[in-house]
A = this chain, B = another copy of it.
Amino acid sequence: MTAAPSDGTAGGAAGGAAGGPAGGAAGGAAADGAAASFGARLAAGMERHGPLCVGIDPHPGLLERWGLADDVAGLRRFSLTVVEALAGTVAALKPQSAFFERHGSAGVAVLEEVVAATRGTGTALVVDAKRGDIGSTMGGYADAYLRDGSPLAGDALTVSPYLGFGSLAPAVDAALASGRGLFVLALTSNPEGASVQHARAVHDGTPGESVAGAVAAQAARLNAAERARTGAALGSVGLVV
């Protein structure tokens, strides 16, 4: 179902592993425009560099181990050093938004620098922010992270489906329209996740599909429809597993 790139996290920092796009890989020549889709670009990047996604997780302990202060200057030094060392040599970089937000708007400005420094290097930039909301609010997040010209828009965004997979539609639409991708939280490895992700739909008293299974199935459907159009090896909607 998923092709999960191994998740190398700089300095051994914690962070959710972004699994690969759901729907499986398949051959076939790319149709017109397919090169612009996130799935096609990620497939090409993994072909070139191997399936490695490196997390950028500048939590306080990691900054300390690097001999850096836990402030905006330390955050910036760490993050841009990782980008300088690895952009263009790995398939993807994945900065964890929380560790930028904890320094306030000045930290978010550093995340913008990470996005800008990675752009055009051939390495995909996945903003790990696990955003999730409904309607115009989800549209606001799509504007921020999935729109050409936004300083926070990398190549893909992690999103959270607690409000229902369908609530992510504005992000799906924005991603596909701009050649960007999503990684949707599905079945995570932390033990607390089971209470939500293993819960099951019940019809007439009979347990059916799990929450995580339904998320994966809906991502796979989107990818199948997209790949029928583009012919790309991968769709643009991945899973966090």
Contacts and interface: CB of A to CB of B under 8 A. Distances in A.
Interface in A153-175: 160-167
A109 interface: yes
A195 B210 contact: no
B140 A167 contact: no
B195 A150 contact: no
Interface residues of A, number: 66
Interface stretch (A11-19, A31-39, A221-229): A11-19
A133 B134 contact: no
Contacts of A130: 131-133, 160, 162
Contacts of A81: none
Interface stretch (A46-54, A97-105, A117-125, A230-238): A97-105
A160 B102 CA distance: 18
A167 B137 CA distance: 24
A43 interface: no
A137 B201 contact: no
Interface in A53-106: 57, 59, 61, 96, 98-99, 101-106
A203 B49 CA distance: 44
A109 to B, nearest CB: 4
A195 B207 contact: no
B192 A167 contact: yes
Nearest to A58: B140
Nearest first, the 8 A-B pairs at minimum CB distance are: A164-B192, A98-B140, A166-B192, A199-B199, A102-B143, A105-B109, A105-B108, A162-B162
Interface of A: 13-16, 57, 59, 61, 96, 98-99, 101-106, 108-109, 111-112, 130-141, 143-145, 150-152, 160-167, 185, 188, 190-202, 205, 207, 210-211, 214
